[in-house]
Every structure is written in structure tokens, then in C-alpha cells.
Amino acid sequence: MMRRIDRRWVATGILVVLLLVAPSFLKSSYRLSVVTGGFFYAILAASWALLSGLAGQFSFAHMALTGIGAYTAALLGRDLGTSPVTGIIVGTLMAGLVGLIIGTLCLRLRAAYLALFTIAFSEILRIALLTEFQYTEGSNGVQLASLYPGITARGEYYVMLALLMGTLGLMYWLAGSRFGLFVRAMREDEEAAAAMGVNVVRYKVLVFVITSLIVGLCGSVFYHQVGIITPNTMQLLQMALVIAYAVIGGIESLFGAALGAFLSRIGLEMLREINILGLHIKFGAWRYAAFGLLLMFTLRFAQNGLLYPIINRFFQQQVREETVAKRKEPAEVQA
């Protein structure tokens, strides 16, 4: 047991130290903003993995709920003059409330209905924000104040890093708790879970509300850093990218989904323009074609994600070996 715990904590500690010192090497504000955006998408992908990979609920509402959190904070700041902290709190609660309404309406039905409902909801919300110009300023978007006066790109980096670590810690705690056991049981067989006394609808709604709160918080914080929120951020293409990031990392692993999103987002940004032996190449939109090929490769040859086998190799395999060893000990005693 000690070997496994030591290995996990050592790997986690090294990763945290690298992330903490990274701003010293990412000297420009542009590079810091790219990595900060990677943290944002890592939170979205990990929370989607919690909802889909752990609980088996396929939703397209993540970007819409992110937008609800950000728009709520933006409108409160513009019309009522509230502070960013107040806007973030109210925006997070509003996203959770909308998640509760969606969950109550849809999660008594089969998973396909949730997917269809959230597609329709996301598009209706985007169109409403786009057309109600007198309230939302349409495609121009609504501006948001900085988190606090004089914040730098480095400060924003650390804020999003702390948010990523905090939300990942919360999601791992939930996954390892009785709550996680119940939602995994529902994912495998709802009828069997209900027969064992699990209130299936309650836990479905609860996991949907929790992920809604997480993405609402994430969106309201991140777009305070960006400075503006527009309806285009809630396009289904953006939601499809979040799902693709999670699939490439591995939706059965929260860390795998987060790492897949982080690396994919930075990779897509790096492929805008590259220099190879003095040759300057602009990929533009073609980088998304390359990303699509990577996704196709993942779905065909690595259904659990490209990064999940690596994580499984370093951590889960050792867990299985230790579990088998524990089972062998009583058998050897009996012999």
C-alpha cells in the first residue's frame, strides 16, 4: 500500500511544483493566457467526465451552463454594479439552479432524451442571447470587470490553477465516496441499483447539479479574466470540442480527461503557426482537421482514451496487484 500511495503523491507533487513554477518560463502574457485557457477547458472536460464517464449522463449543456454563470456575473456587474466576487457567487448558483431544472425535467427519462433536450436548450439560450440586443448587446457581448484591480496574467494563471486543483479534488472526493459508488452503480445498471435501494432519480439530478455548479463557477471566473462574454462561446462546436478533449484523455478518468483537454487545447493553439527549420507554416482551420483525425484514431484504437492507458499503467495496475496479493494471503494461510 505504501508504494502505491508514495507513487501517487510523488507524481502529484512533481506536477504541482511544475505548474507553480511554469510562469517563470512562460514569460509572455500570451503564453500565460494560453495555459490559463487550458486550465479552463481541463475543468470543463473533467466535470463532463464525472457526468458522463462516472454517472453515464450524456449532456450537451456544459458550455451553456458556463455561459449562464458568466452572463449572470456580467449583467449584475453592468446593471447593478456588483463586485466580481458577488457576480461569481450568484452566477454559480444560477447555473446550479438551471441544472436542477433541467435535471428535474429530463433525468426521469432515458439518457438519449437528456442529450436531445440539452442540445435544444443550448441553442435556444444562444439564440435568445444573440437576439435580445437591448439586454445582452447581442453578438457584441457583455464586458466583465477584472477579478481585482491590477491583476496580471500571472495572477490569472494562479487563480485558474487553484480553481482546477480545487474542483479536481472535489470531484475525486465525490468519486471515491458513497455518492460515487451509487452513481457508478446507476451507470452500469439502473434497475439493479434501484433494486438495491439507490434513489436513481435523486442521484442523477444531484450529479447534474454538482457539475452545473462547477462549470458555472468556472465560466464566471474565467470570463472575468477574458473580459467579455459573447453568445458564440456557447456554440455546439465548442461543446463538441469539450467532449472530444474528454474522450481523447479518457472519460473514465477525471485526471485523464483534464490532462487530455489541457494538452489538446495548448496543441491546437501551437498549431496556428509553427516554424520548422526556418519554414513558417500557418495551419489555420486545418489544425482542427488534424485534431479530428486524432479523435478518429482514439475512437477506433483507444476507446478508453489515449492517456488513460498511461494513467492505468502507473497507478491502477499496481492497485490490482496489491488487491490480488491481499486475496492470496488468506488462501496461503488456509493451505
Q: Residue 27: phi, psi to the nearest 5?
A: -60, -35
Residue among 159, 207, 194, 238 at smallest CA distance from 50: 207
Torsion sign (Cα): 100, 105, 108, 113: negative
Read off the amino acid at residue 109. L
Three cell numbers, residue 132: 435580445
Greatest C-alpha distance within the chain: 80
Q: Is residue 311 part of a domain?
A: no
Q: Is residue 183 part of a domain?
A: yes
Who has greater pLDDT, 147 or 271? 147
Distance CA 106, CA 58 (A): 12
Residue among 115, 99, 82 at smallest CA distance from 217: 99
Q: What is the pLDDT of residues 60-93, one digit of tens each?
A: 999 999 999 999 999 999 999 999 999 999 999 9
pLDDT band of residue 334 (cuts 50, 70, 90) is: low
Residue 158 has pLDDT above 90, yes or no: yes
Cβ atoms of 243 and 65 within 8 Å: the answer is no
Neighbouring CB atoms inside 10 A of 171's CB total: 24
Q: What is the pLDDT of residues 205-214, one digit of tens each?
A: 999 999 999 9
Read off the amino acid at residue 333. V
Domain residue limits at 75:
29-270
Who has greater pLDDT, 85 or 333? 85
Q: Residue 146: phi, psi to the nearest 5?
A: -65, 155
Q: Is 282 helix (H, G, I), strand (E, B) or coil?
A: strand
Q: Is residue 119 part of a domain?
A: yes
Distance CA 327, CA 318 (A): 14
Give the CA radius of gyration of the chain: 21
Cβ atoms of 70 and 220 within 8 Å: the answer is yes
HSE-up (13 A, CA, CB side) for residue 22:
20
Cβ atoms of 61 and 185 within 8 Å: the answer is no
Distance CA 166, CA 173 (A): 11
Three cell numbers, residue 134: 437591448
Average the pLDDT over 98-112 and give the result: 85
pLDDT above 90 covers a percentage of the chain that reads: 47
**For all residues of the chain together, what is the average pLDDT?**
85
Q: What is the pLDDT of residues 301-327, one digit of tens each?
A: 877 788 777 777 666 554 444 444 444
Collect contacts of 94-97 with beta carbons under 8 A, ≥24 apart.
94/68, 94/69, 94/216, 95/65, 95/66, 95/68, 95/69, 95/212, 95/213, 95/215, 95/216, 95/217, 95/219, 95/220, 96/209, 96/212, 96/213, 96/216
pLDDT reported for residue 192: 86
Residue among 308, 288, 289 at smallest CA distance from 247: 308
1-15, 47-61, 104-118, 276-290, range with greatest mean pLDDT: 47-61
9-18, 80-89, 121-130: range with lowest mean pLDDT: 9-18
CA dist list (Å): 187 to 4, 190, 311: 28, 7, 22
Three cell numbers, residue 283: 495551419
pLDDT above 70 covers a percentage of the chain that reads: 88
Domain count, the chain: 1
62-66, 86-90, 107-111, 176-180: range with lowest mean pLDDT: 107-111
HSE-up (13 A, CA, CB side) for residue 1:
2
Residue 138 has pLDDT above 60, yes or no: yes
Residues in the chain: 335
